[in-house]
Structure 1
């Protein structure tokens, strides 16, 4: 991964607002309306004002209207609300709820669950302790997913084995622990899903990207680390 905060000499000047989703460039930097730091769009969240003036997160970058970009971290979104950054950027009165940061957390979490469900429909997900254990041993597991409320014994055993196999093959350890048993079961369409593993594939990559986004949002810079070892972190 390239360092997200570094300016590119050939990039257009970063700005904190845009004129609409069709004008959003995905190959240039955007300016955070709070920190004034230029970042890759994937490291930020686009917000728009609805017809009633309420600020909403546009995680898919498709909602109409002028967009305000804020670093994709919960603490920064909270600062945006407290400092009236949305109204200042849009230069008009808007309503940013005090619980906006928590609402965004739930929206991102929902996208993680939906992405896992899509990966399951694509046939990329294996569930069950023994089945996941076998997939890890074969070297086929690209991502390990364990329920946040799973028993520590089984959870740690699989995590250690997964990390060891990944290191032996020179791969990063992609471990996701941000979803509960209830959420994993919802995504899989079956009850009591505690352990799951994904093999490589486009839907698996999308799930990882969404899970990483949730991790960055909740943990901030602590989740990012250095680019070369970012995927060694639990999300």
Structure 2
């Protein structure tokens, strides 16, 4: 059985719910990103890309879809990016607290060599030589480089985090999905 599908208000494409962002309208008429996809009310679904959101804003599609006046927050695209980033970092922090996340070059290298890693994390502002060495060892594993040293350090509760890895557990799927959604939002252009 496949996941429920919804129609994107910007592209008109029918997609799996996981490929879309869900918005809801608060009782006072404010458009709200529903990151967890569980807010009450009729959902407004849009492809997970900046271009789709920008098109919906330009054409007034949020209000049209809601069939009522909607107050759209200023800098919506930036706020969506921030919310998706914060969800990724919060999940990584949760993984660190549960012992799922390993930090530090030597420990990550050891975990990679023992095949106990599902995701490699590299700070976007880290030195290229260390990142490249770990990427070679990681092979086909997903590599997350969407966050800088400060963001990773704050999320993982240690200073100067450049290299980290995520082991395998149920939380790994959530982290993978959250990072994938952030990446799609930042990079994917599916507007025709």
Q: Same fold (TM over 0.5)?
A: yes
Q: Residue 55 of structure 1 corresponds to which residue in structure 2?
A: 31
| 1-structure distance, mates of 2:10, 2:128 | 39
| 1-structure distance, mates of 2:189, 2:10 | 16
Q: Residue 179 of structure 1 corresponds to which residue in structure 2?
A: 147
2:178 is paired with a residue of what secondary structure? Answer: helix
Q: Residue 109 of structure 1 corresponds to which residue in structure 2?
A: 85
Q: Residue 132 of structure 2 corresponds to which residue in structure 1?
A: 156
1:190 is paired with a residue of what secondary structure? Answer: coil
In the TM superposition, structure 1's runs of 4+ consecutive aligned residues that sit over 3 Å from their partners are none
Q: Is the 8 A contact 2:9 2:44 kept in 1?
A: yes
Q: Is the 8 A contact 1:81 1:98 kept in 2?
A: no
Give me the TM-score of the superposition, normalised by structure 2.
0.93
Q: Residue 168 of structure 1 corresponds to which residue in structure 2?
A: none
Alignment of 1:1-235 (within 5 A): 27-163=3-139, 172-220=140-188
| 1-structure distance, mates of 2:72, 2:180 | 25
> How many Å apart are 1:78 and its aligned residue?
1.1
> How many Å apart are 1:51 and its aligned residue?
3.0
How large is the Cα RMSD of the aligned pairs?
1.7
2:138 is paired with a residue of what secondary structure? Answer: helix
Give me the TM-score of the superposition, normalised by structure 1.
0.77
Q: Deviations over 1:116-163 (max 9, x none)?
A: 011112211111011111111122221100001111111111112211
Number of aligned residue pairs = 190
Higher relative contact order (CA 8 A, sep 6+): 2
Q: Unaligned 5+ residue runs, structure 2? A: none
| 2-structure distance, mates of 1:221, 1:156 | 28
